[in-house]
Amino acid sequence: MKNFFIKLFVTLSVLLILSCKTQEKSIEHNPFTADQDLEIQVEDTIFLSGTLSFANNSVLAIMIAGSGPTDRKCNNETGLNTDAFRLLADSLKLNGISSFRYDKRGIARSTPVHESQMVIGDLVNDVLKIVRFFEGHFDRIVLIGHSEGALITKAAAHQTKEVDGIVLLCGISTTLDKIIEDQLARYPRLLELAIVHLDEIRDNKALSEVHVMLRSLFRESVVPYLKSAFDLDPIEEISKVKQDIMIVGGRCDVQVPPNHADSLKAYSEHATKFIYEDMGHCLKHIGDDCMLNAESYSNPEIPLHSQMTRDIVVFISNQ
């Protein structure tokens, strides 16, 4: 009997030592324990450059920016200067939530890719590769997509079980071609011309001569991307998402009015909707009369909408 207890003690001691060593090894080899810039390989020759704001390994929020040459801060070279994602990352970190924000392929410090070589499915796959990169290093992963990034977020979320929830910031509820028509509705002649080109793209036809006022929108090199984006239906995508969804809209948003949030909510039983009266498309607090709306696109000193930030923290913490 004495020998039995000696053997049992030795066995338990060995198991305890092995357990401790395993934990030490896990901590030692966890590469994500501090703020750092990262490069993530998404294709053989394409790397995405991004910033990890580290709080702990409990939850990671991956931020997906909107359309155009938008970088990890939610800024771009065409004049958008909001720092919205940097500000959101700072707020999340203060509340114990890690985040990763990145330059889209072809943008800023990520691998240069000509726009003629991109379709929206590439950006969806990039998100899935980023999720896979962090998989196993954080207990939970949440996606946060802004504007077109919200569409990409939905399309990625229903393709993976590694995402625990998604946040859709000012996301559209109709296809991109319909959005273009809506935004040109105030200019009847341009709308008439644009519809010709939209039909050409939808029908896989070559573009006819483009009016000078529409050339930046209907440039030949961006047609493959536009066609792929037209085919991605936001309502269809959100109906496939089984994770919890936070839908955010701003009453002062002139790009994506809050009725889009209403429509998205109507097609998801997993969604909760938040509309902020004094918030615009750039996620900033712009006053009850929306007077700072234009300035919010170019002044990074305007703070994020504080209630929106608090609600995002609560949503993520509950996932």
Per-residue pLDDT of the chain (319 residues; tens, 9 = 90+): 444 344 434 343 433 433 443 343 343 467 898 999 999 999 999 999 999 999 999 999 999 999 999 999 999 988 899 999 999 999 999 999 999 999 999 999 999 999 999 999 999 999 999 999 999 999 999 999 999 999 999 999 999 999 999 999 999 999 999 999 999 999 999 999 999 999 999 999 999 999 999 999 999 999 999 999 999 999 999 999 999 999 999 999 999 999 999 999 999 999 999 999 999 999 999 998 999 999 999 999 999 999 999 999 999 999 8
What residues have CB less than 8 Å from 140, skipping those under 6 apart?
A: 58, 59, 60, 164, 165, 319
- The residue type found at 6 is I
Supply 237's token pair. Answer: 């995508």
DSSP of 34-65, one letter per residue?
S-EEEEEEEETTEEEEEEEE-S-SSEEEEEE-
Supply 66's token pair. Answer: 């909107």
**E strands along 147-295, which residues?**
165-169, 244-250, 271-276
Q: How many residues does the chain have?
A: 319
pLDDT at 29: 60
CB 296 within 8 A of CB 313: no
pLDDT at 58: 96
Termini Cα distance of the chain: 50
How far apart CA 260 and CA 246 sit, in angstroms, is: 13
Element (H, E) at 9: helix 2-28
In this structure, the number of other CB atoms found within 10 A of the CB of residue 168 comes to 33
Angle at 257 between CA 244 and CA 108, to 5 degrees: 75
